[in-house]
Chain A
């Protein structure tokens, strides 16, 4: 009976339909969907009609290399952020609320600090005469400075740091929602820490990890600032390449094709996530 009541209460709200969403949809149509279509159009019409831009993109080894770099960096960044985020989110969930709030504030403030400032800070830390190299040399652990910047290592380190909050936050939310006595029950059933993590905590927090991981992976694929500053000219990532094609080489056709490939890949990954985890919630 109560279900009937709910249905009756709900239907008028549903029936009101898309009215309130019209401004947002107009905005999206005007500034997103139309440009994406014009992008698609340019990729198959410039300089002439046909798929030769896509052909060039996949046939040229330089471009293939850029795609490879981009996917590799995004994969490594996603994996490393997940590995680092799990213990952090777990500690946040079990520590007293007061302490958790403090740690959360630190994470949020770092997230809200200007991206350029943070990226330059990593340059200072990672460069040949930077803090990390001089410390390691003073300790006698290395005799030559490590090449930590102007290459994919630097990009990976910097992006991992920048992406961390995007995994920690959803993961923390899902872990907090797990009843602690479920884990106590696992312990009494004989599950040590690792077994309890693998058999209970990991499967129960998987949706949060998937949501965070997806966000990081997709953001990493199209990230521009950090790769541009911490990366080297010989190891470009996709966003940099698109910028160069369009800005320096004025090759809108090829740039558009690259951007469109990126979009398709992103949508495909999102579709997979919805298929297996029911989407981001």
Chain B
């Protein structure tokens, strides 16, 4: 049997009566960029900390190249990590920060100098070696932290919301840097974030965490176009949820009826629902169109927001639920607050959750 590079096997962590991580299993191939995405308290950081060795799991196992690492203390795991907070050693220069893991490993002075130079080039901070951390910007500090974590060629790099303290523009800049560094080094990265856009931008695959469990693992496209659960549908991408009064399931598809009597056939079924019943329909704001022939869901325009490239329109259904669409401004010219109109969408682009 082929041993997986990194496997997390039925990992569980409890704090008293609180279950922080509940039966999490994951297989990670070498060189993958895998993101743990979830709201705070969903167990994603706890899982990462178990990998780092800061938190001992209550049950389960973590294996690297087939061998369990749980009994190995943090300092012998040879794992790299970039933290949420700035953790550069404040008394050491940039050069000495990156050299730290190499000095601890008693490498020769010439090896250390060469490696630090290569790392500074990798994170594009040539010439910053003599600076002290206090004289660097937040983005530069995190890049040095990245260089320090990669200096000893770790098999796995953990990143715990490393960009959450930076502003949006800088964040996007460093996201591009991280992607480039991942491609150049081929290191396996486990990345924790609560920002779905960041997850989509960076990752090969995303594991969506909620209440200590993994709801779904897949590529960004899979999560977006084929969410396994209502939670994933709501967390990845923008979404509308509409009340469903009745649904008749036939195989993988359902015919649903809204509270106002409007029906929609051929809707994909999710969340393991097989029986018919009520539930919710999820449809993305950009899947919605204003109908020209009077068919579709009758709604009333509540508000129109101009956003440059696109506009968003907020509607109210006959039973008082809000629903919004996003489209090119030219396509929704005739929408004015108070106007009555109809919304239509491709049924296969919406998802019914029981």
Contacts and interface: CB of A to CB of B under 8 A. Distances in A.
B111 to A, nearest CB: 15
Interface residues of B, number: 28
B105 A190 contact: yes
A184 B52 contact: yes
Interface stretch (B20-28, B72-80, B306-314): B72-80
Interface of A: 179, 181-182, 184-192, 195-196, 199-200, 203-204
Nearest to B96: A199
Interface string B77-98: 1111101110101110000000
Contacts of B85: 179, 181
A190 B91 contact: no
B152 A189 contact: yes
Contact of A187 (B74, B84, B89, B105): B74
A211 to B, nearest CB: 17
A185 B81 CA distance: 7
B104 interface: yes
Nearest to A202: B91
27 contacts: A181-B83, A182-B90, A184-B83, A185-B81, A186-B89, A186-B100, A187-B73, A188-B52, A188-B53, A188-B74, A188-B79, A188-B149, A189-B75, A189-B100, A189-B101, A189-B152, A190-B75, A190-B101, A190-B105, A191-B75, A191-B104, A192-B75, A192-B76, A195-B75, A199-B100, A204-B89, A204-B91
B81 A188 contact: yes
Contact of A184 (B74, B90, B149): B74
A188 B77 contact: yes
A182 B91 contact: no
B77 A189 contact: no
B191 to A, nearest CB: 16
Given A184-B74, A186-B89, 4 more contacts: A189-B152, A190-B76, A190-B152, A200-B89
Interface string B129-166: 00000000000000001001100100000000000000
Contacts, number: 69
A184 B104 contact: no
Interface in B305-324: none
- Determine the main DSSP class of A at the interface with B: helix
B80 A195 contact: no
Given A188-B52, A189-B148, A181 B87 contact: yes
A94 to B, nearest CB: 13
B56 to A, nearest CB: 14
Interface string B44-56: 0000000011100
A194 B101 CA distance: 14
A179 B90 CA distance: 11
Contacts of A203: 91
A195 B104 CA distance: 7
Interface in B7-63: 52-54
Contacts of A192: 73, 75-76
B100 to A, nearest CB: 5
A63 B268 CA distance: 98
A81 to B, nearest CB: 24
A258 to B, nearest CB: 40
A195 B74 CA distance: 13
Given A195-B104, A199-B100, A199-B104, A187 B87 contact: no
A184 B87 contact: yes
A163 to B, nearest CB: 27
B87 A182 contact: yes
B78 A184 contact: no
Name, among A185, A191, A195, the residue most crowded by chain B CB atoms within 10 Å (CB to CB). Answer: A185
A164 B336 CA distance: 77
Contacts of A190: 75-76, 78, 101, 104-105, 152
Contacts of A182: 87, 89-90
Nearest to B158: A188
